[in-house]
Amino acid sequence: MIRVVILGSKEYPFGSNRGDDPIPSGGMETYVNDLAPELSKLCKLDIVTRRFSNTRKLEWVGKNITVHRVPWLRGKWLRNPSFNKFSFLKALKIGRGADIFYSNGIVSGFAGLLLGRILGKRSVYRPAGIGFVQFGFPLRQLLFALERLVFGRSDAVVFHSGGEKRNAQALFNLGLDNGHVILTGFPVHRFRQVRVSARSKRSELGLGDSTVITSVARFVPVKGLAYLLEAFAGLGECARLLLVGSGPELEKLRNKAKALGIMDRVIFAGFRHDIPEILSVSDIFVISSLSEGLPTSLLEAMAAGKPCIVTDIGLPIEHMRTGIVVRPRDSFALRNGILALMNDAGLRKRLGDDARRFVESECTQEKAAGKHYSLFRDMLEGRD
């Protein structure tokens, strides 16, 4: 059986953190959490992640998943570098018996590439968005060079849509013949039928009878939430903006909402575990990001049958068929997209229904795991 070392996920499984790190897990951790159980039916997995209170250094989760927990240092500027350092050392130790290093995110991607070269193994990189765009000089230039290296030198790169691959090809001026498109798999069934009192949930969140525009994201610059606030400021009193998540930009976004005079209509809901219920009382879902892989939050909204507006960053949304696509960094275009949906109930239903059919057909955990296994097998047999 193929043995795969998975790098980059700071929490596995979900719930193991238990408050040790006040910064909640994001899309990278969600992706691994959803993929691993199905992939472990086909491969042996070694997942390198962080150690938390009441967890052991070595744990077995299911038949073919071994979780290796490494130490890390608390603090905004220490958590990631310390985790990446100890992850590399752990992977170097356990990787001799592996076949493939599967890395999520640019730093882990570089580590996986280096480990593959040192140990003579294959390396697979999943970019999970383009990281350098959210930073300034000189870090931006350094990360650009690093990402171009990892994209070009990895044995395989997993993209979540053809658009994401094309964007990377243009951005880095690379052919990326090593690129493979595998849509994200997630538990679609959780969003097919959600039993919740709409009135009770709306009351809990302070939504009233307004049109609810929802975004689920970490509060970091690359998510483009400042542009969403600007877009929302041009809407009427009948709408509410529900921002679900947390992160270092929370106070900055609060201050921006106050400056725009919309603080009374913006709900900062914090990190939530009841996303299916929140989506059930939402009318429109928005991704305002400047760069993404394929956010699970988008797929969840599509599975819930919600009409979605996304920025044109390579996401698998067909304009005016499975959603609305607008230019990134364009508050005016974003506002017009929201208004188009607010003013047309028929359009909302059609886009939501088509979005749901798409994810139910293409984004199951079983399909994603099967495509990963085929990629790994072909790589090891020299057919990639």
In this structure, the strands spanning 3-7 and 44-50 are parallel
What 3-state class would DSSP assign to 56? coil
What is the topology classification, in CATH, of domain 188-362?
A: Rossmann fold (3.40.50)
What lies within 8 Å, CB to CB, of 255 at 6+ separation is none
Q: What is the CATH number of domain 3-185+364-380?
A: 3.40.50.2000
What 3-state class would DSSP assign to 45? strand
pLDDT tens by residue, the chain, 384 residues: 999 999 999 999 988 998 899 888 888 899 999 999 999 999 999 999 999 998 999 999 988 999 999 999 998 789 999 999 999 999 999 999 999 999 999 999 999 999 999 999 999 999 977 766 666 678 778 888 999 999 999 999 999 888 889 889 998 999 999 999 999 999 888 887 666 677 888 889 989 889 999 999 989 898 999 999 999 998 988 999 999 999 889 999 999 999 999 999 999 999 898 999 999 999 999 999 988 878 889 999 999 999 999 999 889 899 999 999 999 999 999 999 999 999 999 999 999 999 999 999 999 999 999 999 999 999 999 755
b/e map 218-237, b = 16+ CB within 10 Å: bbebbbbbbbbbbbbbebee
Domain spans of the chain?
3-185+364-380, 188-362
What lies within 8 Å, CB to CB, of 39 at 6+ separation is 4, 45, 369, 372, 373
Edge-first strand order for the sheet with 239-244 is 266-270, 239-244, 211-216, 284-287, 308-311, 324-326
Q: 20 is written with which tokens?
A: 């040790």
CB-based contact 121:99 (threshold 8 Å): yes
CB-based contact 286:336 (threshold 8 Å): no
Is the C-alpha dihedral spanning 288, 289, 293, 297 positive or negative? negative
**The pTM is what?**
0.82
DSSP code string of 178-239: TEEE------GGGGT-----HHHHHHHHT-TTSEEEEEE--SSGGG-HHHHHHHHTTS-TTE
Same CATH fold assignment for domains 3-185+364-380 and 188-362: yes
The residue with tokens 């394929």 is 294
Scanning 40-161, the segments in alpha helix (DSSP H) are: 79-94, 106-119, 139-153
b/e map 277-296, b = 16+ CB within 10 Å: bbbbbbbbbbbbbbbbbbbb
b/e map 39-55, b = 16+ CB within 10 Å: bbebbbbbbbbbbbeeb
What 3-state class would DSSP assign to 46? strand
b/e map 81-110, b = 16+ CB within 10 Å: ebbbbbbbebbeeebeebbbbbbbbbbbbb
